Amino acid sequence: PSPKSLQPNGASEEALRCEIEELKQKELALDQEIAQLLSEGYSLEELDKHISLLHEYNEIKDAGQMLLGKLAVIRGVTTKQLYPEYDLELSD
C-alpha cells in the first residue's frame, strides 16, 4: 500500500483527534484525583495496597456467594432465604 492509503481519511482523523482529546482530559482528571489523595496524606503504596485488598475481598465474596448458591440448590430454597440463617444482610 502506498503511504497515502495508510493515512486516515478526514473523518477518521477527526475522530482520532477527538479520542486523543478525551484521553487527555481523562488523564488530567486522574492526575488531579491522585494529587488530591496525595495532599490528603495517602501514599501511592497505600492506595495500591487498598486496591489489592479490595480485589481480594471481592474474590472471597464471590466464593461465598457461589457456596450459598450451591447450598440453596441442595436445600431447594433461594439464596435469599439462606441469608437470615447466616446473619447476612441482603446488601452483603
Q: What is the pLDDT of residue 22?
A: 95
Q: What is the pLDDT of residue 10?
A: 65
- Considering the entire predicted model, what is its pTM? 0.52
83, three cell numbers: 441469608
* Residue at 5: amino acid letter: S
pLDDT in tens, 4-34: 555 556 678 888 899 999 999 999 999 999 8
Q: What percentage of the chain exceeds 70 in pLDDT?
A: 88
CA-CA distance, 18 to 8, in Å (whole number)?
14
pLDDT in tens, 57-71: 999 999 999 999 999
Tell me the DSSP string of 17-71.
HHHHHHHHHHHHHHHHHHHHHHHTT--HHHHHHHHHHHHHHHHHHHHHHHHHHHH
